[in-house]
A and B are shown apart, each in its own frame.
Chain A
Amino acid sequence: MTHPRAVLTLYDQPMWQSIEARKWELQRCDGCSKYRYPPAPNCPHCLSLAYTWKPLSGRGKILSWVVFHRQYLDDYPPPYNVVAVQLAEGPIVISNLVGEEPKGSWIGREVEICYEERAAGTILPKVELA
């Protein structure tokens, strides 16, 4: 087992730089104003190649969640949660809910992005209940 590495294509690198600065940015299409995730060379909606990096509002809603009971990665001893969050800007991202956990269903709960320093000294965006 090793530490999980982020996929770092040419288009991912500016995003991770913004995360390091604790100000997560995604590409917003200059043509149709839609945000996209993961970062990509063009807008999958209108195919425009023009985009601007925009900071996220930090708001989102939980679409689903799981709890890992098996260890796959050194950094993640079980049990730990993973959530799918639909950002206010539209895209769905994967993260972990830190802090207080909801009683009952997590789906539909409002969350806010926060930042956590990982062992390797890197910053990872997480979410907490709003």
Chain B
Amino acid sequence: MSGLSKIAAVIGVGQSDYVGDYARVRAGEKPHDSYGYAAIAFNDALADAGIARDDIDGLIVGPTVAYERVGEILGINPTWGAQADAMLAVIEATIAIHAGLAHTVALVYGNDQRSAAIQYGGPEAMGGNMFLSYIYHAPWGFTSQGALYAMMFRRFMEVTGCTEAQLGEVAVAQRLASSLTPHALMKKRITVEEYLASRYICEPLHLFDYCLINDGGVALIVTEASRTKKLGRKPPVLIHGVGRYDMNRGATSLEPRLLDFYRPAEERCAEQVFNMAGVGPKDIDAVQIYDSFSCHIPLALEGYGYCRSGDVGRFMAEDGISLRGKLPVNTAGGHLSETYMQGWAHQVEAVRQVRGECGERQVEDCRFVHYNSDVAGKAVSIIYGK
């Protein structure tokens, strides 16, 4: 199954000034709104690609901004357009290119979630209109997406024997990565002991298991693989494979979380993406995982076959998931320590690792990077490579 393999390539990536804007927002300023961040990132991506705005004929915007308004602000009248989250934006751009609906697609995201004080828990929890589980159990005080993952991970710990200290390896590894990433928000490294001493938010999850909330924007430029000889100033990064499998059945009563740990979704998704790319877990040099919470990482490592089922606690602690370990995960620090761009910055980091432009945090001889997410049981994978 070649499917969408090597049909499209990323030729440009861009982002806003996470560090500067974080400081300004914390000081009470409002540097930009979601559209401003999106525009900054788009300009940055165009410059990175070395192409002109009018080379763009496809536009996908993130879920936090209105499609038409972004197109209006950026002055893009495309032959094809859509609205999607980070992972589906990359897949949909690839599909559109494959179908000939567009040749060069801009993927643009902006989010002023911190300065706008967006709530992810409580009576006005974000996302409740999309995922009933985020709000349905609020009468019992069960609110916030972190609590849903805490409930899932508590059972996972019981079933597999994975400990809190082993889960702490995620926060520790990603802090090491962010300390080597100039644009990351969190520069101070932490130890497992400091992790264990940090306060619980929803036990068994600690403060360091939760993602950051910050403002920012991200953009990617995706074009036909055959055009990359003429278009783009850096080596193109090809999309080698994509995969998806959604567990919707029983979602609100948390069945796929609590009974299956979303494992069937990840296994089906893994089969698709690895078959399409013609590679397997052993060929992957770095993994980017959507980490609204740290426990996404152990669940994904088992689900995608990076370690044996039930062995992930030992794998994280002994084989290692940091830049110094056997399998580097979230090499810029991820949502926990780099920036919370809802999966968008993970795509950028995957591209930069394959390009080999990551400086101190560069994974040696990086040929393939596997991105995956399992947000609310919707497993999505993308393999980027040379």
Chain A interface residues toward B at CB < 8 A: 1-7, 37-38, 44, 63-70, 72-73, 75-76, 80, 82, 84, 91-96, 105, 107, 124, 126
Contact = CB atoms under 8 A, between A and B. Distances in A.
| Shortest beta-carbon contacts, A-B, top 5 | A76-B141, A4-B138, A64-B155, A94-B137, A67-B203
B360 to A, nearest CB: 35
B91 interface: no
B142 A38 contact: no
Interface residues on B, range: 35 or more
A12 to B, nearest CB: 9
B200 to A, nearest CB: 4
A109 to B, nearest CB: 12
B141 A82 contact: yes
Chain A facing B: main interface SS: loop
16 contacts: A38-B132, A68-B203, A69-B199, A70-B202, A72-B141, A72-B143, A76-B141, A82-B140, A84-B151, A92-B255, A94-B140, A95-B140, A96-B140, A105-B158, A124-B139, A126-B140
Nearest to A122: B139
Interface in B247-262: 249-250, 252-255, 258-259
B368 to A, nearest CB: 35
A5 B136 contact: no
B154 interface: yes
A73 B253 contact: no
B141 A93 contact: no
Given A68-B147, A84-B151, A4 B253 contact: no
Interface string B148-164: 00111011001000000
Query: Which among A67, A82, A124 has the greatest number of chain B C-beta atoms within 10 A?
Result: A82
A72 B151 contact: no
A5 B158 contact: no
Contact of B140 (A63, A92, A124): A124
Contact of A80 (B135, B138, B141, B150): B141
B132 A66 contact: no
Contact of A5 (B123, B132, B254): B123
Interface in B170-202: 199-202
Contacts of A4: 123, 138-139, 141, 143
A127 B132 CA distance: 22
Given A69-B202, A107-B155, A38 B141 contact: no
Query: Which among A5, A38, A91, A94 has the greatest number of chain B C-beta atoms within 10 A?
Result: A94
B204 interface: yes
Given A5-B139, A38-B136, A94 B202 contact: no
B252 to A, nearest CB: 5
Contacts of A73: 122-123, 138, 141, 143
A81 to B, nearest CB: 9
B121 interface: yes
B144 interface: yes
Contacts of B152: 64
A71 B141 CA distance: 9
Given A4-B138, A94-B137, A82 B147 contact: yes
Nearest to B204: A66
B144 to A, nearest CB: 6
Contacts of B155: 63-64, 84, 107
Contact of A64 (B132, B143, B154): B154
Contacts of B250: 44, 92
Interface in B99-149: 121-123, 132, 135-144, 147
A69 B122 contact: no
Query: Which among A1, A64, A105 has the greatest number of chain B C-beta atoms within 10 A?
Result: A64
Contact of B136 (A7, A44, A68): A7
A19 to B, nearest CB: 10
Nearest to B142: A82
A26 B79 CA distance: 49
Given A69-B202, A92-B254, A93-B253, A6 B139 contact: yes
Contacts of B249: 44
Contacts of B253: 37-38, 91-94
B123 A1 contact: yes
Nearest to A124: B139
A125 to B, nearest CB: 9
A44 B252 CA distance: 12
A111 to B, nearest CB: 14
